[in-house]
Amino acid sequence: MPNSSDTTPATTDVRAKHLRITTPSPWLQRFQHLIAQQGRVLDLAAGGGRHGRSVLDRASGVVFIDRDIQALHDLLDHPKARVIEADLEGGTSPFEAGGALADERFDAVIVVNYLYRSLLDGIIDALNPSGVLIYETFARGNEAFARPRNPDHLLKSGELLTAVADKMQVIAYEHGRVEASDIPGVKQRLCAVKDLQNSERDDGDPPAHPLAPTTK
Ligand SMILES: C[S@@+](CC[C@H](N)C(=O)[O-])C[C@H]1O[C@@H](n2cnc3c(N)ncnc32)[C@H](O)[C@@H]1O
C-alpha cells in the first residue's frame, strides 16, 4: 500500500496550512465530553497537537505522535504530554511489538485529517473498554475540490463504519461536503465507543451516552 509520507511540496503545503489552524475541529469539540475524565488520550498524526492540547486539562496524559514534531516542541516538558516522533507508515505498525505504541492502551484516540488504512484495526485494539474513537478525515469526492486527491488518503463511503462494525457502538457518523469547517471539503466523521461488551441490559444493547455535555 502506498503511504502518505511523501514530502513533496504539495504535501508540505497541506501540512503548513493545517498547522496554521490552532482551534480543534468542531467534531472533537462536540464529542470530547465522552472522553473519560483523567483518561489517557492519543492524538495520532498530531501535527501541531491542536486536538490533544484541547483535552490536556481533562486527561491524565496525552500522547502526541507524528513524524514531524517541530510544532510540538513546547509540549516536551509538559507534565501531562508525551511527544513521540515516529513514522506511522514505516514498516512495523506502531501498535505492534517493537512499534512506538506497542502495548499502550488509551481511553480515547483522536485522528483528524490523516488516513493510513493499515492502522485502523490497531487504533481500535489500542482502546480500553469504553474508550472513545473520534475520527474525522477527507473522503471520496474531495478530489473534485481540493487536496488530498490521492484515493489512498480518501475514505470510501461508510469506511469508518465498516472499521468499527461489531467492535464499537457508533454514537455519530457523517459523510458529506462541509463548507463551514477548518478545512472545507468532503469529510467523513465518526464518534464511537468501545462498549459493545459492557451491557447491563437484558437485551444486550450497550449503554446510552449523553449526546451533549451534561449540565448540572
Ligand atoms: C493534515 S496534518 C493533520 C494534523 C492534525 N491531526 C490536525 O488536524 O491539526 C497530517 C499530519 O500527519 C502527519 N503524517 C503524515 N504522514 C505521516 C507518517 N507517515 N507518520 C507520522 N505522521 C505522519 C503529518 O506530519 C501531519 O502532521
Could you read off the pLDDT of 47-76 as tens digits, one per residue? 999 999 999 999 999 999 999 999 999 999
pTM score of the predicted model: 0.92
Query: How does residue 2 score in pLDDT terms, banded at 50, 70 and 90?
Result: very low
Question: And the C-alpha cell for 123?
Answer: 487504533
Does ligand 1 come within 6 angstroms of the Cβ of 72?
A: no
pLDDT (tens digit, 9 = 90+) per residue, 179-209?
877 778 999 999 999 999 888 889 999 999 9
Supply the pLDDT for residue 14: 65
Q: Is the pLDDT of residue 3 over 60?
A: no
Give me the mean pLDDT over the 86-111 stretch.
96
Supply the pLDDT for residue 8: 52
In the chain, how long is the greatest CA-to-CA distance?
Answer: 56
Domains belonging to the chain, first-starting first, are 17-193 (3.40.50.150)
- The answer to whether the beta carbons of residues 25 and 44 sit under 8 Å apart is no
Share of the chain above pLDDT 90, in %: 79
CA of residue 172 to ligand 1 center, whole Å: 24
Name which residue leads in pLDDT, 165 or 9.
Answer: 165
Q: Measuring from atom 8 of ligand 1, which residue has the nearest CA?
A: 112
CA of residue 86 to ligand 1 center, whole Å: 11
Does ligand 1 come within 6 angstroms of the Cβ of 100?
A: no
Q: Would you give the DSSP letter of residue 205?
A: P
